[in-house]
Amino acid sequence: MTTPDAITSRPTSSRTRILLAARTEFAERGFDGVPLQAIAARAGVRQPTLLYHFESKELLYRAVIESVVDEWAAETERAISTGLLGFAQVAALIDAAFRLFERNGDFVRILRREAIEGGGRMQAQMAEFVRPFLEDAVRFLRREMRAGRLRRHDPVELMQVCYGTVLTYFSDARFRANLVDEDPLAAAALRRHRRALLKLLGAALEPAGAEVRGSAR
């Protein structure tokens, strides 16, 4: 029996190319609009090779989401395991979100497509992979609020506002580019937006008399 393409010699390389191609195709055309043939062609493999690694489009889609969600979870875990307290920890979580979405523009577009089209494919995966880390962040916020290092707010709503704000900045970047005289994803623009967001959050969260962060970097 002939092994498709170079499966036996370079399985990791083929799988990685397929995942990257699928991310781009799903971001550009949505789940329903992408045939497996298009993903295989973009990856530079034959369809039997794709099906060797991923038995269906649904499993490939899940693998695409899981690869980025794993990165998201790792970023969040690093941010909440630093031992920082108060608003410094909040800033670390915001920084983690900025890093993730800056590196994964295709994933941002997939998220938005899921939210708009309502295909129901991502909701269970997001809950399965991300929710434990978001719950860790919420527990941290509750602890810091009880300790008086942060002003009291609803921590669940706070996390949604923070991540929603960062996600929207990246998902609307193309539109924003038509409103401002610079690339919203340029390093200087990202730094400025991050500083502005941290300044607003600091004013809302830091106890009276504390220094409002956001001027650094």
Distance of CA 101 to the CA centre of its chain: 5
pLDDT for the residue 119: 62
pLDDT for the residue 42: 96
Q: Do the domain assignments include residue 105? A: yes
Out of 55, 81, 97, a domain closes at 55
pLDDT for the residue 159: 86
Out of 13, 28, 55, a domain closes at 55
Residues 149, 180, single domain; the answer is yes
Amino acid of residue 190: L
CA 65 to CA 27: how far, in whole Å? Answer: 11
pLDDT for the residue 12: 54
Rg value, the chain, Cα: 20
Residue-by-residue pLDDT tens, the chain, 217 positions: 444 444 444 455 899 999 999 999 999 998 889 999 999 999 999 999 999 999 999 999 989 988 888 888 888 888 888 889 999 999 998 999 999 999 999 989 888 887 777 666 666 766 676 677 778 889 989 999 999 999 999 999 998 888 889 989 999 988 888 888 889 999 999 999 999 999 999 999 999 766 545 444 4
pLDDT for the residue 152: 95
Q: Do the domain assignments include residue 213? A: no
- Using alpha carbons, select from 88, 85, 75, 84 the residue that is nearest to residue 163: 75
Residues 45, 118, single domain; the answer is no
Residues 196, 132, single domain; the answer is yes
pLDDT for the residue 215: 41
pLDDT for the residue 91: 94
Residues 34, 136, single domain; the answer is no
- Using alpha carbons, select from 217, 159, 212, 174 the residue that is nearest to residue 193: 217
CA 13 to CA 16: how far, in whole Å? Answer: 5
User: Which string of b and e fits 132-150 if b means at least 16 CB within 10 Å?
Assistant: ebbebbbebbeebbeeebb
Residues 32, 119, single domain; the answer is no
Residues 97, 192, single domain; the answer is yes
CA 80 to CA 88: how far, in whole Å? Answer: 10
**Domain enclosing residue 133, as ranges:** 66-205
On whether the CB atoms of residues 72 and 102 are closer than 8 A, the answer is no
pLDDT for the residue 9: 45
Residues 135, 84, single domain; the answer is yes
88: number of Cβ within 10 Å: 12
Q: Do the domain assignments include residue 95? A: yes
pLDDT for the residue 99: 92
